[in-house]
A and B are shown apart, each in its own frame.
Chain A
Amino acid sequence: MSVRNVFTKLILLLPVFFAACEKTIEFTDEEVATLLVVNCKLIPGENIEVDLTHTIHALDESEYFEPVKDATITISDGTAESSEFSYVPKYDSIMRWDNSRQVDYYDVIEKGTHINKVYEIKEGHTYTLEIDAAGYEKVFAEASIPDKPVILSTDTTSEIESNEYSKLINRIVKLKFSDTPSKKNFYEIKAQKAELMVYFDPYTGETNISPSVYNQFLDIQDPIFEPDESDIIDDLISSYTGTYLFDDALIDGKTYTMTFQYDYQYLSQYEVEDPYATSSYNFSINKIMLISMDETMYKYMQTSSAQGYTNFFSEPVLVYTNILNGAGVFGGYNENAVYIVTHNFSEEMLDLLPEGDAEDLFNYIVDLTSEYSYYYY
């Protein structure tokens, strides 16, 4: 129990006092101009995908952001430009609540994006984006593509801590990378785990496959995340959001080794009479990513991540945007990754996986997960 909790609880009793003095304020639409929202991450070698939506009034309960389909999008690096974007629809099923009937029901929503498959994004280039959509102010943005981060080596070890009840497997990575000198670089360290669980049901003889992909919690105690005067909320982000952003203020032009722990696994020491326990197999690929990004993307990710971790007493967090006359982000992004595979598959089971390296297999599991995903709105 901390002072914050004690005090917060007492403060939260105040609404009982205030309830009698509450009223609704007229908040009219005229005060709010709907803005075009652009979300676009430029990645070298990949198609340009522009997610175009619009802002929703705070009084609108819906959290479904309808795509803005009718728009003219132009991207340019000053020498070559392209407007060959086509809207590609995607659909999702969402669960809604019918208040009058007091039941859930499924609905289908469209969430397509504008894709350009012909324009090539190159490292070191700066791009401008111009979007003209009917009913909205024309928006402009600029992004630069940073150099691909240089990972020099990774060294992975596992530590096992056990007591009479459980066993903890703790994986430690030493990631050695070099920073490009004489320019401000912005990074994110991130780990994702793609997992394929296979169960053989001893009673029915059926085989169940369960794919999943999720972000890993990283335990990083590194001075590189110490906030300096130019950082806005590094300490908050590092402590709470699981997003590990840093700049090169302390390592400009240097080779640096960052050590962190990830992929904790607790295993029970008890013998359990569970037929599944002996008939389940796991194939995991950990993707450790070092991502470089332009300053725009860095600021956006810092602020958007921090906004999700505020409370009633928090100072407001304004999400950074570089979209002139709009909201969202248009930023450059370049990632380098290493893959670490762990599994207890038999040789026969490995043959069931497609041909390819660890990256291919990671992407294979990601594709499998899309068949299982649905969203709540």
Chain B
Amino acid sequence: MKHLFLSLIFTLACVYTFSQKATFSGYVFDNATGERLINANIYNPETYKGTTTNTYGFFSLTLPKGTFKFTVSFVGYNSEDLIINLQQDTLLSIGLDLKGALDEITVYGEGADKVDNSEMSVVSLPVKQIQKIPVILGEPDVLKVIQLLPGVQSGTEGTSGIYVRGGGPDQNLFMLDGVPIYNANHLFGFFSVFNPASIKTVKLYKGGFPARFGGRLSSVIDISMKEGNMKKISGEASIGLISSRISLEGPIVKDKTSFIVSGRRTYGDLLLQPFLKLATIQEQDMNLSAGYYFYDLNAKINHIFSERSRLYLSGYFGKDMFYMNLKSHYNDDDVRYDEKMGANIGWGNGIGALRWNYLISSKLFSNLTLTYSNYNFDVSQDFTMENSGNDKIQSNMFEYLSGIEDMSAKIEFDYYPAPQHDIKFGANYTYHFFKPGVNHMESIDEDFKDFNIDTIFGNDSIYAHEIYGFIEDNFDIGPLFKLNLGLHFSGFDVQDVFYPSLQPRASIRFRGGENWSVKASYAMMSQNVHLLSSSTISLPTDLWLPTTKKIKPQVSQQYALGGFFKLPWNLDLSVEGFYKNMTNLIEYKPGASFASSTTGWEEQIELGKGWSYGGELLLEKKVGKLTGWVGYTLSWSKRRFKNLNFDEPFFARYDRRHDVSVTLTYEFYEDMDMGITWVYGTGNAVTLGKQKFKELSDPSTYWNNTLTYYESRNNYRMPAYHRLDWGINFHKDLKYGRRTISVSVYNSYNRQNPFFLYWGYDYEMKTDPETGNTYEESEPALKQISIFPIIPSISYTYKF
């Protein structure tokens, strides 16, 4: 009885205590467009205590009743000061105005957050900054900019594949509006699929992963698309050397419903056709067309039902295509025969997402997401021959298809019980459908009907169910410590096997002073999909494969420790060290290749482990006329596979000892800014046979008497990679908008960076002094192929 009484008193005390508090919640948005702002700060300027908006621009602060002053700020926007007399729960939308280009941005932007929050190994990239950074062929590229950050390595020259903290290219979760994208590359990775005109925010997580993320070992690249201007129709069109893009956004119902549509296409193939015509002008009976193009289409529509309810529908479709078509004809015995031959290589992603935000209470925000994602790769070749009577005499066709298809449902909640306390929890279900390589062959010949073929063969499709649930709690312990503790549970059901995984996550911040803090984090991650890729060259033939009975999920554990400092002159410095171990990594067996495989994919792979460690330094300036960063990474990345390199550890392909990047943008005037980038990286590790030796002789074997000697896998370093890019943007306000002419130069000092190496020959013409005969003499040499020399480019953009 006594216990019951005490419990009642306690409960009443809690109710009383809570009744003395009220919740200030709402949204922060851009006044000009209505676009909600992610990670905007709402804080009390005296105590710096406050919160930040979530992915949907929502915030919630529960405080004792009273009058409070708040400052609402976001990088690049004028801060807004509010005085709130908080006597009851208050829901408020706060609009911020964009700053003028030359205005000095007030402090306390994201720089203050970096010292204060418990997140580490995270970098946010403002899209405006991405657009100022000079890139190849004048095409701004999100992934190319991410490659400039410490801890992130690029692959071979020009590619936008990323390798984060010693991880593989499949260990990065690219999410566009919460939907995973399997192949984020166009043109073998020279461009990424993310059209900058449609992007709102980009956030990279390299470690210390919050519990809401899972499914990949090394990084999460969380990209949010713009929502669409709620106030007025606006747009952007850009013409560059290789591609053009257009974007249009605006209200369907002002302040209620908006849309955004953007598209991009390269036109190298269209420019190529006249040259092909010229090259085949002598061939009267032949018509050749060939080329390459890619296109993207992003679309999004959203509707605000009320302050509590909002619906988003978004989609992305992209396709790359190499094609060649040849038509020819000939006459035989007065019968005309027409031949057609075609070959195509295509790949692309398609995604769709339907999201519903609902504010259940002023402290509890919910988001329900239904998503669809697919990636397909196909190669086809066909040939037909018809006579003048349109009778098909002969035809054959070969097609190879591979891909992956996902359907997901996810529910997430953000709960804000107190100002320094927010809890996120949720669950997800995904249905995976893997198509790891199917061949279709058809052959018809009227003269040999007995030999006609129509068959399908290849690897069996695999179905899998994946679930996960998570809970993370972000809270303060006194003024010095802040913790983010979480638990991520996942399960993968495939081929009647269930792989459960419980992954603890933790990060802690110790704030030593107003301008510095120390953080530590631990994250265990599990990954149920694998990318089988060649070590010799990265191709879209790389296969996405599931965990199976034989192939176990990849698992990693990452530990990180870092110091974060706010320095004078608006400089932010972060220094981090990390150690990551990974198990169940996959690699092709020795000798195997996509070009010669005859057996199932599971027979071609090896399972092994890897580990990486290193340190990263990032000095950033996000405020003022001069912005940018200097990044440096010192790291080691190793692998060990029982049947590769004879069970001895070896350096991973993209082990890179030193990686330096300097990225600066400077606004000279309101109508002119400049960007400059310099990068340096230790050469990639490749396997190179430096010597040859005699094989154990077999009297009956007359061939292959010489073997190549490799002392170990990845035994040779390519030459170091470095280049300098710069670009200038000239802006001018016109009657209906603003135009920008961008001039940039990629690889300004024409550095020949290595793409791949091979043993070849140097040739020289010589004359025999005795006979006077000239002859060509060859000398063996190690040859390097580079792709991009100095490349100037110009583009014209018009915004209205």
Bound complex: CA of A54 vs CA of B588, how far in Å? 31
CB distance from A372 to the nearest CB of B (A): 12
Known: A23-B784, A31-B690, A232-B643. A308 touches B696 (CB 8 A): no
| Centre residue among B534, B590, B646 by max chain A CB count within 10 A | B590
Known: A31-B690, A314-B536, A315-B534. A24 touches B592 (CB 8 A): no
Tell me whether A233 and B780 are in contact (CB under 8 A).
Answer: no
Which of B759, B768, B788 is A100 in contact with, Cβ under 8 Å? Answer: B768
Q: Considering the complex, give the chain A residue whose CB is closest to the CB of B589.
A: A233
Is A272 among interface residues, defined by CB-CB distance under 8 A?
no
Tell me whether A328 and B785 are in contact (CB under 8 A).
Answer: no
B657-716 interface (Cβ within 8 A of A):
687, 689-710, 712-713
A194-213 interface (Cβ within 8 A of B):
213
Is A169 among interface residues, defined by CB-CB distance under 8 A?
no
Is A214 among interface residues, defined by CB-CB distance under 8 A?
yes
CB distance from B712 to the nearest CB of A (A): 7
Known: A101-B768, A102-B775, A315-B588. A6 touches B690 (CB 8 A): no
Which residues of chain B are within 8 angstroms of A99 by Cβ–Cβ distance?
775-777
Which of B439, B646, B780 is A320 in contact with, Cβ under 8 Å? Answer: B646
Tell me whether B592 and A3 are in contact (CB under 8 A).
Answer: no
Known: A58-B692, A304-B695. A21 touches B534 (CB 8 A): no
Is A284 among interface residues, defined by CB-CB distance under 8 A?
no
CB distance from A1 to the nearest CB of B (A): 5
Q: What are 21 A-B pairs with beta-carbon distances under 8 A?
A: A1-B398, A4-B596, A7-B345, A22-B784, A23-B784, A24-B783, A24-B784, A39-B696, A55-B692, A55-B693, A59-B781, A100-B768, A192-B700, A232-B589, A233-B591, A304-B696, A307-B591, A307-B704, A318-B687, A319-B707, A320-B646
Tell me whether A236 and B709 are in contact (CB under 8 A).
Answer: no
Bound complex: CA of A327 vs CA of B537, how far in Å? 29
Tell me whether A313 and B534 are in contact (CB under 8 A).
Answer: yes
Bound complex: CA of A49 vs CA of B794, how far in Å? 70
Which residues of chain A are within 8 angstroms of B700 by Cβ–Cβ distance?
192, 213-215
Proximity string of chain A (144-174) to chain B, C-beta cutoff 8 Å, 1 when within and 0 when not: 0000000000000000000000000000000
- The stretch from A60-68, A70-78, A341-349 touching chain B is A60-68
Which residues of chain A are within 8 angstroms of B597 by Cβ–Cβ distance?
4
Is A261 among interface residues, defined by CB-CB distance under 8 A?
no
Tell me whether A236 and B345 are in contact (CB under 8 A).
Answer: no
Bound complex: CA of A362 vs CA of B563, how far in Å? 78
Bound complex: CA of A328 vs CA of B694, how far in Å? 8
Tell me whether A65 and B783 are in contact (CB under 8 A).
Answer: no
Is A246 among interface residues, defined by CB-CB distance under 8 A?
no
CB distance from B780 to the nearest CB of A (A): 5
Tell me whether B590 and A315 are in contact (CB under 8 A).
Answer: yes
Which residues of chain B are within 8 angstroms of A39 by Cβ–Cβ distance?
694-697
Bound complex: CA of A100 vs CA of B702, how far in Å? 28
Which residues of chain B are within 8 angstroms of A22 by Cβ–Cβ distance?
760, 783-786
CB distance from B739 to the nearest CB of A (A): 34
CB distance from A279 to the nearest CB of B (A): 28
| Centre residue among B534, B709, B760 by max chain A CB count within 10 A | B709
Which of B594, B701, B710, B755 is A18 in contact with, Cβ under 8 Å? Answer: B755
On A, residues with C-beta under 8 Å from B are: 1-4, 6-8, 10-11, 15, 18, 21-25, 27, 31-32, 34-35, 37, 39, 41, 51, 53-61, 63, 65, 99-102, 192, 213-215, 227, 230, 232-233, 235-236, 239, 300, 303-304, 306-320, 327-329, 366, 375
Bound complex: CA of A257 vs CA of B687, how far in Å? 41
Which residues of chain A are within 8 angstroms of B399 by Cβ–Cβ distance?
3
Bound complex: CA of A303 vs CA of B697, how far in Å? 15
| Contact count band on B | 35 or more
Which residues of chain B are within 8 angstroms of A6 by Cβ–Cβ distance?
343, 379, 381, 398
Tell me whether A315 and B768 are in contact (CB under 8 A).
Answer: no
CB distance from B649 to the nearest CB of A (A): 14
Is B593 among interface residues, defined by CB-CB distance under 8 A?
yes
Which residues of chain B are within 8 angstroms of A27 by Cβ–Cβ distance?
690, 781-782
Tell me whether A41 and B703 are in contact (CB under 8 A).
Answer: no
CB distance from B652 to the nearest CB of A (A): 14
Tell me whether B345 and A21 are in contact (CB under 8 A).
Answer: no
Which of B345, B593, B712, B777 is A10 in contact with, Cβ under 8 Å? Answer: B345
Tell me whether A315 and B696 are in contact (CB under 8 A).
Answer: no
Is B420 among interface residues, defined by CB-CB distance under 8 A?
no
Which residues of chain B are within 8 angstroms of A227 by Cβ–Cβ distance?
603
Q: Considering the complex, give the chain A residue whose CB is closest to the CB of B324.
A: A10
Known: A56-B691, A315-B589. A21 touches B789 (CB 8 A): yes
Bound complex: CA of A316 vs CA of B716, how far in Å? 13
Which residues of chain B are within 8 angstroms of A307 by Cβ–Cβ distance?
591, 704, 707-708
Tell me whether B785 and A56 are in contact (CB under 8 A).
Answer: no
Tell me whether A57 and B381 are in contact (CB under 8 A).
Answer: no
Tell me whether B595 and A311 are in contact (CB under 8 A).
Answer: yes
Known: A99-B777, A239-B598, A328-B696. A25 touches B782 (CB 8 A): yes
Bound complex: CA of A99 vs CA of B592, how far in Å? 37
CB distance from B468 to the nearest CB of A (A): 30
Tell me whether B590 and A318 are in contact (CB under 8 A).
Answer: yes
Q: Considering the complex, give the chain B residue whose CB is closest to the CB of A34.
A: B691
Which of B693, B698, B710 is A318 in contact with, Cβ under 8 Å? Answer: B710
Known: A60-B780, A310-B591, A311-B596. A18 touches B787 (CB 8 A): yes
Tell me whether A37 and B694 are in contact (CB under 8 A).
Answer: yes
Is B400 among interface residues, defined by CB-CB distance under 8 A?
yes
Proximity string of chain B (758-799) to chain A, C-beta cutoff 8 Å, 1 when within and 0 when not: 011010001010010101110111111111110000000000
| Centre residue among A41, A233, A236, A315 by max chain B CB count within 10 A | A315
Tell me whether A57 and B690 are in contact (CB under 8 A).
Answer: yes
Q: Considering the complex, give the chain A residue whose CB is closest to the CB of B648.
A: A318
Which residues of chain B are within 8 angstroms of A304 by Cβ–Cβ distance?
695-696, 707
Which of B592, B696, B755 is A314 in contact with, Cβ under 8 Å? Answer: B592
Tell me whether A32 and B646 are in contact (CB under 8 A).
Answer: no
Bound complex: CA of A327 vs CA of B782, how far in Å? 23
Is B541 among interface residues, defined by CB-CB distance under 8 A?
yes
CB distance from A363 to the nearest CB of B (A): 11
Which residues of chain B are within 8 angstroms of A214 by Cβ–Cβ distance?
700
CB distance from B597 to the nearest CB of A (A): 8
Is B752 among interface residues, defined by CB-CB distance under 8 A?
yes
Tell me whether B709 and A315 are in contact (CB under 8 A).
Answer: no
Known: A61-B780, A304-B696. A4 touches B594 (CB 8 A): yes
Bound complex: CA of A347 vs CA of B35, how far in Å? 102
Is B331 among interface residues, defined by CB-CB distance under 8 A?
no
Is B452 among interface residues, defined by CB-CB distance under 8 A?
no
Is B137 among interface residues, defined by CB-CB distance under 8 A?
no
Bound complex: CA of A3 vs CA of B540, how far in Å? 13
Which residues of chain B are within 8 angstroms of A315 by Cβ–Cβ distance?
534-536, 587-593
Bound complex: CA of A4 vs CA of B693, how far in Å? 31
Is B322 among interface residues, defined by CB-CB distance under 8 A?
yes
Which residues of chain B are within 8 angstroms of A328 by Cβ–Cβ distance?
693-694, 696
Proximity string of chain B (328-369) to chain A, C-beta cutoff 8 Å, 1 when within and 0 when not: 000000000000000101000000000000000000000000
